Amino acid sequence: MRLLVTGAAGMLGTDVVAAAAGHEVIALARADLDVTDPPAVSAAVARARPDAVIHCAAWTDVDGAEAAEAAATAVNRAGAGHVAAAAAQAGAHVVHVSSDYVFDGRANEPYTEASVTGPLSAYGRSKVAGEHAVAEAAPGAHAIVRSSWLFGLHGRNFVDTMLRLGSERDKVTVVDDQVGCPTYTGHLAPALVRIAGERLTGVMHVAGGGGCSWWELARATFDRSGMDCAVRRGSTAELGRPAPRPAFSVLRSTRADAPRLPFWREGLDAHLAARGVLVA
């Protein structure tokens, strides 16, 4: 498979490129391709002649989007649409990565592909708009993959922040009123490559198995890395972040063909092992 990866220098994109070893990969980082520039996107995809495109490029600053919604939407909606349109023009299948933030978090059971979206934040609105743009630009030739709470070796993330804070402090406060599915990019990346190779279509939820709160993830991080750092339970209100977060955003798939990722604790262990801090 000839595979084009956008956002190839990001946390997820780097792992996607690695997971695609054995395929012919064209890796385009943000410095290589501005997805908000339609002619540049069209030219890059036409030049690459891919069989599939995995679109990892995105605006990921959730709080920053509250003050810059137009800029976030330019990347997450318009940019996604440009990539999907160029892929369709080239006859390529497009795999678009979306987010649990498309939901309002008021559910009391896991969100499935059939669940109604209702984003609370500017970032969430931009991601829903991106899903629509991809579906419109590449009808019948796209997969929209929603995942959540990503962490990996090649970008800033919650787990690594906890490792840093645990080495500096003896106590941290972490919110326990947000519940989601921590997802290791080392597990998500090969699933995206598989989706591209099999040309699966439509919306699918692909995230770490199970679910937990940020507080539970912090506790598990310290326990599994052997760090002696106490974790105080906090609330989202205490944190005072600009963007509202869904209180509950556990994702599940009802599709038989959707990849199933390992339980989130397995992803955490894999990440900590790769960092060299996992306690056996």
Residue type, 20: A
Tokens read off for 57: 């490029």
Tokens read off for 114: 């059939």
Residues sharing a CB contact under 8 Å with residue 21, sequence separation 6 or more, in sequence order: none
User: Minimal CA–CA distance to 7: which of 75, 68, 61, 70?
Assistant: 75
Torsional class of 140: left (φ above 0), alpha (ψ -120 to 50), beta (otherwise): left
Q: Within 10 A of 47 (CB to CB), how many other CB atoms are there?
A: 11
Catalytic residue among 101, 111, 123, 184: 123
CA–CA gap between residue 71 and residue 56 (Å, rounded) = 17
Does 123 qualify as catalytic in the annotation?
yes
Tokens read off for 244: 């509202």
Q: Within 10 A of 239 (CB to CB), how many other CB atoms are there?
A: 14
CA–CA gap between residue 243 and residue 255 (Å, rounded) = 31
CA–CA gap between residue 11 and residue 32 (Å, rounded) = 16
User: Minimal CA–CA distance to 140: which of 217, 99, 88?
Assistant: 88
Q: Within 10 A of 170 (CB to CB), how many other CB atoms are there?
A: 9
Tokens read off for 197: 């190779």
CA–CA gap between residue 96 and residue 173 (Å, rounded) = 34
Q: What per-residue string of b and e applies to 5-36 under the rule 16 or more CB within 10 Å gives b? A: bbbbbbbbbbbbbbbbeeeebbbbbbeebebb
| Residues with active-site annotation | 123
